[in-house]
Amino acid sequence: MKRILIVGANGAIGSAVAKDLAQDFEIIRAGRTNADIILDVTDRASIDKALKGVAKFDGLITCYGKAAFGEFADINLADEGNGLGYKFSGQVNMVQAVLPLLNVGASITLTSGILNDQPIAGGVFAAAANGALNSFTYALALELNGRARVNIVSPSLIADSEDAMGRTFPGYEITPMHDVVNAYRHCVMGQLNGKVLRLYRPI
């Protein structure tokens, strides 16, 4: 059975995606807690240590991403994780670390989000990180030249997160979890390469 490593498999998106793909793949869960592989994506050394001895696998999915929110003028760029980290750097760390562990024809599926296309006040860095991740995906697909496919899923606010975050996204289109799960399934099992799967209509 082919094996997929999911970072953030306990999260809102990751747990739904893991449950769905477990019908067709062996799922290896990675995260800081309660996972098969304990790692911190913000720390490349912790990733390398955790992946030592792990047998090759057929796909990486990252359902992780933390960005600084708040008034732009007040965000201290010197603080850890601000700017484009950790949402951008965490996923990029993970991709770089797993490249030697991917079987031929493997897939890499990252996660961005709506905020670079339809920003909210206080979300400057989340918007920038999403835009950077989307561009990273286009460019990396070219460079990998078929050695592995790389795509990125960009949801709007997910239905399951509406109660917690709905007020921050007033009037935003809500992405059903079913569409989210299908998008990752499409990236893993289909032929897509170098695509941003935007799960919302443009305005």
Residue 116 CB contacts under 8 Å (≥ 6 apart), including other chains: 127, 128, 130, 131, 134
Angstrom distance (rounded) from CA 132 to CA 137: 9
User: Rounded to the nearest whole angstrom, what is the least distance from the CB of residue 25 to ligand NAP in the complex?
Assistant: 18
**Residue of 11, 59, 85, 123 that binds ligand NAP (CB under 6 A):** 11
12 near ligand NAP, rule: CB under 6 A: yes
Nearer to ligand NAP, 31 or 83 (CB): 31
Q: Specify the residue for token string 């509406």.
A: 162
User: Rounded to the nearest whole angstrom, what is the least distance from the CB of residue 37 to ligand NAP in the complex?
Assistant: 10
**Residue of 1, 23, 33, 100 that binds ligand NAP (CB under 6 A):** 33
Residue 55 DSSP symbol: P
Helix (H, G, I), strand (E, B) or coil at 153: strand
63 near ligand NAP, rule: CB under 6 A: yes
Nearer to ligand NAP, 105 or 188 (CB): 188
**Residue of 127, 161, 188, 195 that binds ligand NAP (CB under 6 A):** 161
**Residue of 21, 41, 108, 141 that binds ligand NAP (CB under 6 A):** 41
135 near ligand NAP, rule: CB under 6 A: no
Taking the CA atoms of residue 118, residue 119, residue 120 and residue 122 in that order, the dihedral angle to the nearest 10 degrees is: 170
H or E element, residue 53: none
Classify the phi-psi angles of 185: left when phi > 0, otherwise alpha if psi is within -120 to 50, otherwise beta.
alpha
Nearer to ligand NAP, 104 or 203 (CB): 203
Q: Which of 78, 84, 11, 85 is nearest to 41 (CA)?
A: 85
**Residue of 25, 57, 64, 88 that binds ligand NAP (CB under 6 A):** 64
Helix (H, G, I), strand (E, B) or coil at 196: strand
Binding residues vs ligand NAP (CB under 6 A): 7-8, 10-14, 31-34, 39-42, 63-66, 87, 90, 111, 113, 155, 157-158, 161
